């Protein structure tokens, strides 16, 4: 890089930093207010909880504890749900717990599984210990499980969709493409 180009690049970076520092004052002067959400995912229940698949407008949740757990899958419906995937777990009574590193950014435990004796949730677990994987399904995904590209605390499930969670260990990680239960999505009635 020649000296002239490097100087202009440096001046541009300095101007960018100065503009970023002045941005709040400039926005305030222009009458623009920016608010920041500090939502941790914890809210009082606003949806109606029922066992099984949704038969009306709502978001379904499937929790597959994995073949080695000996536990049956849990399927619940949150009618009239609005919120994040993390909030859906809370409102479904599944007691999501994060890690010390990522309090609501990583699900370490659901419905008290795995037990604390198996995972302390201080750090992000490995496949050898077992991890919760997050899947979604809806009419737009062709009613098939798809690995969620967003975390539960930031994803907002749409009405008629299904939130899927499966506990995966190293032994079965290659064979998993979602919970073992097929999703039952629906097209919600317009309101």
pLDDT per residue rounded down to tens, the chain (191 residues)? 566 655 555 555 454 434 444 444 443 444 443 333 334 444 454 789 999 999 989 999 999 999 888 999 999 999 999 999 999 999 999 999 999 988 888 899 999 999 999 899 999 988 888 999 999 999 887 889 999 999 999 999 999 999 999 999 887 766 678 999 999 999 888 76
Closest to 119 (Cα-Cα) out of 110, 132, 130: 130
Count CB atoms within 10 A of the CB of residue 22. 11
Closest CA to 163 of 105, 99, 85, 79: 85
As a dihedral over the C-alpha atoms of residue 109, residue 114, residue 116, residue 119, rounded to 10 degrees, the angle is -90
* Predicted confidence (pLDDT) per residue in 62-73, tens digit: 999 998 889 999
User: CA 171 to CA 153: how far, in whole Å?
Assistant: 28
pTM of the predicted model as reported, rounded to 2 decimal places: 0.74
Contact 79/46 with Cβ under 8 angstroms?
A: no
Beta carbons of 74 and 96 less than 8 angstroms apart: no
Q: In degrees to the nearest 10, what's the CA dihedral of 119, 123, 126, 132?
A: 70
Token output for 14: 């300095």
Q: What is the pLDDT of residue 102?
A: 87
Distances in Å between the Cα of 115 and the Cα atoms of 13, 109, 129 are 50, 8, 11
């Amino acid at each position: 890089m020649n000296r002239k180009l490097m100087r202009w690049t440096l001046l541009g970076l300095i101007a960018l930093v100065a503009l970023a520092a002045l941005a709040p004052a400039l926005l305030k002067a222009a009458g623009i207010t920016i608010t920041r959400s500090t939502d941790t995912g914890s809210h009082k229940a606003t949806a109606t909880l029922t066992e099984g698949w949704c038969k009306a407008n709502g978001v379904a949740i499937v929790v597959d504890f994995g073949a080695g757990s000996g536990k049956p899958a849990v399927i619940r419906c949150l009618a009239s749900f609005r919120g994040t995937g993390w909030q859906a777990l809370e409102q479904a009574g599944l007691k999501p717990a994060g890690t010390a590193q990522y309090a609501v950014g990583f699900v370490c435990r659901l419905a008290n599984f795995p037990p604390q004796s198996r995972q302390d949730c201080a750090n992000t677990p490995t496949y050898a210990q077992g991890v919760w994987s997050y899947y979604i399904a809806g009419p737009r995904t062709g009613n098939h499980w798809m690995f969620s590209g967003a975390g539960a605390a930031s994803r907002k499930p749409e009405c008629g969709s299904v939130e899927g969670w499966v506990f995966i260990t190293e032994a079965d990680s290659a064979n998993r493409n979602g919970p073992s239960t097929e999703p039952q999505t629906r097209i919600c009635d317009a309101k």
